[in-house]
Amino acid sequence: MAKEIYSYTKIQKNRTNKGIHASLIGSFSILMLMILIVIAFIKKGELSIYITSLGYISFIASIIGYTMAGRVKKNDDIYGKLIQTGVNINTIAITLHLIVILIGLSSIIM
């Protein structure tokens, strides 16, 4: 009868800062969106193209943060408390941006 050989090795998981970066990007995106909404109400929608381009930059940043956190989340060798938080914050940021875009499009159509 053959001997069974068991090997117990410690699996080391690497900590990543990309979850922290994704959370910060999502928080920045939500904050920028809120600031732009307040400025739009104060100026009654008469904003320059340069100020409104900050909203698009913020939207693109939230998409980048979501993909960054999503890629890290798929890797089993990486852990971190803020990876799932980064995904959630960026999902909320993308959803809020899309709601603002849909409200803007509906006001153009009607």
Q: 59-70 pLDDT, tens per residue?
A: 999 999 999 888
Position 12 pLDDT exceeds 70: no
Q: What pLDDT score was predicted for residue 33?
A: 93
Residue 89 near residue 33, CB atoms below 8 Å: no
Distance CA 49, CA 108 (A): 17
Q: Is residue 105 part of a domain?
A: yes
Q: Is residue 16 part of a domain?
A: no
Residue tagged 């940043």 (tokens) = 61
Q: Is residue 102 part of a domain?
A: yes
Sequence-ordered list of residues with C-beta below 8 angstroms from that of 78, at least 6 positions apart, any chain: 13, 14, 15, 16, 72
Q: Is residue 101 part of a domain?
A: yes
Q: Is residue 43 part of a domain?
A: yes
Distance CA 12, CA 51 (A): 46
Q: Is residue 70 part of a domain?
A: yes
Range of the domain at 43: 22-109
Quote the DSSP letter at residue 15.
E
Give the confidence band of 77 by pLDDT, cuts at 50, 70, 90: low
How many structural domains does the chain have?
1
Q: Is residue 8 part of a domain?
A: no
> Strand pairing partners for 78?
14
Position 79 pLDDT exceeds 80: no
Task: Answer with the residue of higher pLDDT: 30 or 104.
Answer: 30
Highest mean pLDDT among 15-19, 45-49, 64-68, 72-76: 64-68
Q: What pLDDT score was predicted for residue 25?
A: 93
